[in-house]
Each structure stands twice: as C-alpha cells, then as structure tokens.
C-alpha cells in the first residue's frame, strides 16, 4: 500500500489529463459539507499540496529513512526548501495535490531512489513520511495549504469479534 501511494498511483493511466487529485482513504470521513470547490481553491491560489492534519509518525516506520534521504540529498546536492521537524508528517489520509509535483522529474528521481533502497518493504517506511519529506524538498512552503475548515476524521473500522 505504501509503495502504491508514493509511486504506482501516479503512473495510472486514469489520471492522465487531470491536474489535481484528492486522496481520502476508505476509512476517512468528511463530517460536514464542504461549501466550496477545493480544486478551484488549489488552482486559484496556486497551491501544490493541501492537507488537513499534521501528526507524529511512529518511530518504527522511519528507521533508516532519514539516513537514506540525507544520502540522496548529498548525492544530488539539494536541500530542503523549508525546515520540517523529523517525526512529524502531513497526515496524507486526506491530501489534495497538484499532480505536477508527483510527475516532476525531481520527484520521480527521488521516489525511484527511495524505492531502490527497499526500505518500504524491509523497514516499513510509510507513505506519509516519504511524501512529507518530498514536499519539503520540492514544494515551496507558500504553496502548501492546510484545510482547517474541513471537518475530517480518519477512523479505523472495528471488526466484530467472532466467538
């Protein structure tokens, strides 16, 4: 799932011709009506990445990730566009993004590097930290928007116990 959300989803032909995508996991819920067109807001304000929440990531899901990213940054002589605390992630169970970010040669090179390390499989690197780091590398801070007005929850479904 994590590899799909950082790499494979953006290679799907169904996305051809689209500029923006809104990711909501199947256990995500919008609690009240949204009174405006989120895609128009993204376009009109030239926003490249929109989220609703920021969370702390489980330490087990980022073991070795920053070392790999630092190695990548050193090899490519790039720096983050803005500082972001390690261990904090854009909670991407709700994200609206400009597909140009994920289709850019810079992101494709980054995600191919991350993919080749095998960390998604061997260390369970999550899609949220991988994409959060990518946003800090490739998206100007003033092109990120937090949708504070959209009442959103990510609720894990309870599976009934069978006795």
Catalytic residues: 95
Pairing status of strand 28-30 against strand 144-146: unpaired
Structure tokens of 15? 């996305």
* Class of residue 58 by CB neighbours under 10 A (exposed 0-12, middle 13-18, buried 19+): middle
Q: Locate tokens 């067109």: which residue? A: 37
The phi-psi region of residue 124 (left if phi > 0; otherwise alpha if psi is between -120 and 50; otherwise beta) is left
């Amino acid at each position: 799932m994590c590899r799909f959300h950082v790499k494979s989803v953006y290679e799907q032909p169904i996305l051809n011709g689209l500029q923006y995508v809104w990711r909501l996991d199947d256990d995500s819920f919008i609690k009240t009506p949204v009174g405006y067109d989120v895609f128009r807001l993204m376009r009109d304000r030239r926003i490249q990445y929109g989220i609703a929440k920021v969370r702390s990531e489980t330490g087990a899901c980022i073991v070795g990730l920053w070392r790999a990213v630092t190695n990548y940054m050193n090899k490519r002589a790039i720096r983050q566009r803005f500082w972001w605390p390690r261990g904090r992630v854009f909670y991407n169970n709700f994200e609206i993004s400009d597909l140009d970010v994920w289709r850019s040669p810079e992101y494709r090179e980054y995600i191919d590097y991350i993919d080749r390390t095998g960390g998604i499989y061997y260390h369970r690197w999550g899609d949220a930290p991988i994409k959060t780091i990518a946003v800090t590398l490739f998206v100007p801070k003033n092109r990120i928007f937090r949708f504070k007005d959209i009442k959103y929850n990510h609720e894990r479904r309870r599976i009934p116990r069978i006795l």
